A and B are shown apart, each in its own frame.
Chain A
Amino acid sequence: MASKATVSPNVDLAKARQHTRRERWQSFRRVMTQNKAAMAGAIIIAAYFLIMLVAPVLAPYDPFEISLEDKLTPPSADHWMGTDDKGRDILSRILYGSRLSIGVGVASVAFGAFFGIILGLIAGYYGKWVDTIVSRLLDVMLAFPGILLALAIISALGPGLVNVTIAVGVFSIPLFARIVRGSTMEVKQLEYIDAIRTLGANDFTIIVKHIFPNVLSPIIVQGSMRLATAILSAAGLSFLGLGAQPPSPEWGAMLANGRDFLFSAPYMAIFPGMMISVLVLGFNLFGDGLRDALDPKLKK
Chain B
Amino acid sequence: MEPEVVLQVKNLKTYFTTSKGTAKAVDGVDFTLHKGETLGIVGESGCGKSMTSLSLLRLIPSPPGKIVDGEILLNNKDIVTMKEDELRKVRGNQISMIFQEPMTSLNPIIPVGEQIAETVRLHQRLSRKAAWQKAVDLLELVGLPSPEKRAKQEPFQLSGGMRQRVMIAMALACTPEVLIADEPTTALDVTIQAQILELMKDLQKQIGMSIIFITHDLGVVSEVCDQVAVMYAGQVVEHRSARDLFNSPLHPYTQGLLASLPKIHENQEELQTIEGAVPSPYDYPAGCRFADRCQHARAICRAEAPVLEAVGGTESKVRCFMYTEKWETAAEEEEVLCP
Using CB atoms and an 8 Å cutoff, list the residues of chain A in contact with chain B. Answer: 1-8, 10-11, 34, 300
Q: Which chain B positions have C-beta within 8 A of A2?
A: 217-220, 222, 261-262
Q: Are A4 and B260 in contact (CB under 8 A)?
A: yes
A215 to B257, CA, bound (A): 44
Interface membership of B281, Cβ < 8 A: no
B139 smallest CB distance to A (angstroms): 29
Q: Which chain B positions have C-beta within 8 A of A11?
A: 277
A1 to B261, CA, bound (A): 9
Q: Which chain A positions have C-beta within 8 A of B261?
A: 2, 4-5
Q: Which residues in window 250-270 of B have CB below 8 A to A?
A: 257, 260-262, 264
Q: Are B277 and A7 in contact (CB under 8 A)?
A: no
Q: Are B216 and A5 in contact (CB under 8 A)?
A: yes
Q: Which chain B positions have C-beta within 8 A of A6?
A: 45, 216-217
A6 to B220, CA, bound (A): 11
Q: Are A8 and B273 in contact (CB under 8 A)?
A: yes
Interface membership of B274, Cβ < 8 A: yes
Q: Which chain B positions have C-beta within 8 A of A1?
A: 219, 262, 264
Using CB atoms and an 8 Å cutoff, list the residues of chain B in contact with chain A. Answer: 18-19, 43-45, 216-220, 222, 257, 260-262, 264, 271, 273-274, 277
A27 smallest CB distance to B (angstroms): 13
Q: Contact partner of A8 among B44, B217, B219, B262, CB < 8 A?
A: B44
- Chain B residue at minimal CB-CB distance from A8: B273
A104 smallest CB distance to B (angstroms): 40
Q: Are A4 and B44 in contact (CB under 8 A)?
A: no
| Interchain residue pairs with CB less than 8 A apart (16) | A1-B262, A2-B217, A2-B218, A2-B220, A2-B261, A4-B271, A5-B217, A5-B257, A5-B260, A5-B261, A6-B216, A6-B217, A7-B260, A7-B274, A8-B274, A34-B19
A11 to B276, CA, bound (A): 11
A7 to B272, CA, bound (A): 11
Q: Which chain A positions have C-beta within 8 A of B216?
A: 5-7
- Describe B's contact surface by its main secondary structure: loop
Q: Which chain B positions have C-beta within 8 A of A34?
A: 19
Q: 10 additional contacts, CB 8 Å, given A4-B261, A5-B218? A: A1-B262, A2-B218, A2-B219, A2-B222, A4-B260, A5-B219, A7-B274, A8-B274, A10-B45, A300-B18
Q: Which chain A positions have C-beta within 8 A of B262?
A: 1-2, 4-5
Q: Which chain A positions have C-beta within 8 A of B217?
A: 2-3, 5-6
B225 smallest CB distance to A (angstroms): 13
A5 to B277, CA, bound (A): 16
- Counting from the closest, the 4 A-B pairs by CB-CB distance are A2-B219, A7-B44, A5-B218, A5-B261
Q: Are A7 and B257 in contact (CB under 8 A)?
A: yes
A272 to B139, CA, bound (A): 66
A218 smallest CB distance to B (angstroms): 25
Q: Which has the most chain B C-beta neighbours within 10 Å: A4, A10, A11?
A: A4
A8 to B232, CA, bound (A): 13
Q: Which chain B positions have C-beta within 8 A of A7?
A: 43-45, 216, 257, 260, 274
- Chain B residue at minimal CB-CB distance from A1: B262
A4 to B216, CA, bound (A): 10
A160 to B222, CA, bound (A): 80
Q: Which has the most chain A C-beta neighbours within 10 Å: B217, B222, B264?
A: B217
A45 to B43, CA, bound (A): 51
A2 to B193, CA, bound (A): 13
A157 to B286, CA, bound (A): 75
Q: Which chain B positions have C-beta within 8 A of A3?
A: 217, 219
- Chain A residue at minimal CB-CB distance from B219: A2
- Chain A residue at minimal CB-CB distance from B193: A3
Q: Which has the most chain B C-beta neighbours within 10 Å: A4, A6, A7, A10?
A: A7
